[in-house]
Structure 1
């Protein structure tokens, strides 16, 4: 168990609640949890501890939205995501924390800009029509960012927004996507030493906060307006990207 002051534990508890909310109501907010964990814990330890909490939240998200997933979209994304995870493993072997944060921050801002531009230019086009190039690009970026910093949420949020998914289809597809990918990452994370017995104990303490966040998120998602939902996703993505650039 890491030795933390009460303030540090309080911040981690808040971050754990945000993890639950991000999986069941406000995708993109999870980047804030990434930032808090990285500020309180050593970089590698924070990544491993957060991954396990994300998996717990994934379970709740899948149970809540399992009937709303777009499986055709998921299968289209998976090959590119696997390639991105492999690139992330290689990148982690050579890059330091500063490079990792700044690289992901730049990627997120570029993704937001491209997504908003595409939505503006294709307002009259059927956005739900499959676009292979977009799936490959976003999928590779998601695999890369999820491996190096558990920060793929904003990338995939921008993709699902571009595809004009309704709130529940958005959340259901994201729930299955991250449940599969996060479990896939576990052996790699153990192999490079970022999941440890200490992180397991830490997560046991924080799991109740994740559960509270997930349940509150379900209540919010059933009442949130589509336009408000989309604006929140974009705002949280930009905030997370800026943090990663300046931290």
Structure 2
């Protein structure tokens, strides 16, 4: 029962994250699942859960994304997914936990201590390919592809609505790449897909809450709180 409640919470969290904050809270998902599940099972379950959330997010922000911004990101994401699955056998659960912790800490510290700092050197096509490739790698290995893309979108100064919409379609496309790769390597059991589908109603709930947050609550204050929580979570994972 505790495991089911935990998965349910993660499903709602993913829905909120995707539709309110461009997936910024997604780094919580795998560490939370790893409280009750082995790392390999947690990562396998996350992929169908993310795809369900992607479908709902794209529907909520249909055609609000920036096509010109999206095109340079696709090749890098595809390359990152391929690289990740080529080295996946070299990564053990301890390394996965360490990578998640470092992503949480670095991302949080950047926003807390250097929130006025702009990453203007990323504002070009090379920056788009590099950051989307990094996102593809981290997303495939630890389902934490949000930070690289969020950093990139912040560097080019996107408006909040275009930020969330473009991130939604980008991650939807990248997770399709990941799904093809996972099925090809036999890393996604059918039972895992069925488990994810059983939580679809909660994914709808998370998406609905996220859209409401996106349109009615001050996101700056909310993200500030989440940054401190990310720092605490990353520190806890690193120490553990």
TM-score by length of 2: 0.86
SS of alignment partner, residue 199 of structure 1: helix
Q: Is structure 2 residue 217 aligned with structure 1 residue 224?
A: yes
Change (3 A) 1:113 1:133: farther
Alignment of structure 1 residues 181-220 onto 2, 5 Å: 181-220=174-213
Residue 90 of structure 2: aligned partner: 94
Q: Is structure 2 residue 163 aligned with structure 1 residue 170?
A: yes
- Aligned pairs, number: 239
CA distance in 1, matches of 2:224, 2:191: 37
Residues 46-96 of structure 1 deviation map (CA, whole Å, 9 limit, x = unaligned): 212111011111111111112221222211122222222122112212121
Range moving further from structure 2, 213-222 or 226-235: 226-235
Structure 1 residue 101: deviation in Å?
A: 2.5
Does the aligned pair in 2 maintain the 1:35–1:243 contact within 8 Å? no
Structure 1 residue 14: deviation in Å?
A: 0.6
Residue 3 of structure 1: aligned partner: none
Residue 150 of structure 2: aligned partner: 157
Does the aligned pair in 1 maintain the 2:16–2:210 contact within 8 Å? yes
SS of alignment partner, residue 158 of structure 2: coil
Structure 1 residue 22: deviation in Å?
A: 0.7
CA distance in 1, matches of 2:227, 2:221: 10
Change (3 A) 1:233 1:86: farther
Alignment of structure 1 residues 15-30 onto 2, 5 Å: 15-26=10-21, 27-30=23-26
For residue 71 of structure 1, the aligned residue among 67, 71, 95 is: 67
Structure 1 residue 114: deviation in Å?
A: 6.0
For residue 139 of structure 1, the aligned residue among 132, 143, 162 is: 132
Q: Which runs of 5+ in 1 are unaligned?
A: 1-5
Q: Which runs of 5+ in 2 are unaligned?
A: none
Structure 1 residue 239: deviation in Å?
A: 4.8
CA distance in 1, matches of 2:188, 2:38: 12
Residues 149-203 of structure 1 deviation map (CA, whole Å, 9 limit, x = unaligned): 1110222222222222222111100110011000111121123333112212211
Structure 1 residue 237: deviation in Å?
A: 4.8
Residue 80 of structure 2: aligned partner: 84
CA distance in 2, matches of 1:237, 1:161: 18
Does the aligned pair in 2 maintain the 1:20–1:217 contact within 8 Å? yes
Structure 1 residue 104: deviation in Å?
A: 4.2
Structure 1 residue 42: deviation in Å?
A: 2.2
